[in-house]
Copies of this chain bind each other. A is one copy, B any other.
Amino acid sequence: MLAVTSHGLKDMRVEDVPRPGLEQSTDAIVRVTTAALCGSDMHIYHGKVPAVPDGWVVGHEFCGVVEDVGDAVTGIKPGDRVVAAMYTACGHCAACVAGDHRRCKSFAMFGFGEAWGGLQGGQAEYVRVPLADMTLRAIPEGLSDESTIFTGDILATAFTALRQAAVREGDFIAIVGAGPVGQLIAMCAPLFGVARAFIIDIVPERLAEGAALGAVPIDSRTESPRKIIKEQTGGEMCDAVFEAVGNAPALQTAFSLPRPNGVVALVGMPLGEDFPLSAGDAWLRNTKIVPVLGAPFAHRDELLRLIAAGKIDAAGIITDRIPLAGATEAYRAFDDKEVQKVVFEVSK
């Protein structure tokens, strides 16, 4: 079968690899119909993720049709259309019951190599899905792949960020970075009742998209986010700030925006970056710092409800639809910021 495989720094290939089969009675085999290219895949592309063996199948956002299931799988059956969470977990250990699936001994992320659980990814024609009753959700009738695929990762991440930052009705928030995750935060923010969301970027098209979602756009090349937000909040500044880029300038901006006793949520993966303030200054400003790992298990069911009810249109962030065979070029174009959110149309 065709699959996107990693071969080190900036070397993603579309190759023919063996089709996976069932290994455990709790597995499912999914024929992938749609997969997505996620910003975090670029950490593999840039060689920042350790222990990704040569030829590893990548990808952790995907929808498909169940092809086969193990004996113990009861929640889904062959023929069901499903969307996967970006990682798997058992669902019954103490960590899972506490909603902290990352600490589950069965935790494994699709397509992230040995250090993240040794699970082949979903940018492929077929994928083996462990603990299928937990990992997969049936796509509600009438909903498309594109409208639901992001419940497995970046939409769940945006929603998790808003929840973990404890955003409430009447809050002022700022989103630093108007990429896919930043836009989904802007899209979900009205569901949390924000009085005003500010979105900050340096790319006019992205800012226009943020504005279309109801956020106040701020171009940080020409404007001071802190100054504008101070004016527009009557001096109160932000209850919560979402850092959705992961680099030093974005961190710098993010930490300049919360009110005393406010929150900065780290949604971008700031690998290798320092904090832009000292512990002493964090204390004096009373700024809470909340790293966010998306929690699809905790939130996908309400997200699917909201999508079915027409309250979230996550497919709207998709900019490019490409056959799987074009993945090598898609990674390059994404890295060069020529495309924003790519889905691979794998099969029908």
Contact = CB atoms under 8 A, between A and B. Distances in A.
Interface in A163-209: 168-172, 188, 190-193, 195-196
Contacts of A286: 102, 291, 293
B75 A72 contact: no
Interface string A65-108: 00000111011000000000000001111101110101100000
Interface size class of A (residues with CB under 8 A): 35 or more
Contact of A195 (B192, B284, B305): B305
A261 interface: yes
Contacts of A100: 260-261
A255 to B, nearest CB: 10
A266 B279 contact: yes
Contact of A191 (B93, B169, B308): B169
A71 B291 CA distance: 38
A159 interface: yes
Contact of A266 (B72, B195, B273, B283): B283
A259 interface: yes
Contact of A98 (B275, B289, B301): B301
A302 to B, nearest CB: 3
Contacts of A278: 270, 272-275
Interface in A260-285: 260-261, 266, 269-276, 278-280, 282-285
Name the residue in A97, A100, A260, A303 with the highest tally of chain B Cβ atoms < 10 Å from its Cβ: A97
Interface string A282-311: 111111111101000110011101101101
A25 B72 CA distance: 6
B72 A306 contact: no
A261 B279 CA distance: 19
A251 interface: yes
A133 interface: yes
A133 B97 CA distance: 12
A282 B288 CA distance: 13
Most buried by B among A100, A134, A283: A283
29 contacts: A72-B72, A74-B90, A90-B133, A91-B96, A91-B97, A92-B133, A97-B298, A100-B260, A100-B261, A103-B260, A159-B169, A169-B191, A169-B302, A170-B303, A170-B306, A190-B191, A191-B193, A193-B193, A195-B302, A195-B311, A251-B279, A270-B278, A274-B275, A274-B279, A275-B278, A275-B279, A276-B279, A287-B291, A288-B288
Contacts of A169: 159, 188, 191-192, 302, 306
Nearest to A133: B92
A253 interface: no
B275 A306 contact: no
Given A103-B260, A193-B311, A270-B278, 11 more contacts: A70-B72, A91-B96, A92-B134, A97-B301, A169-B302, A170-B306, A171-B302, A196-B309, A266-B283, A271-B284, A275-B282
A94 B25 CA distance: 22
Nearest to A287: B291
A26 interface: yes
Contact of A306 (B70, B93, B193): B193
A25 B26 CA distance: 10
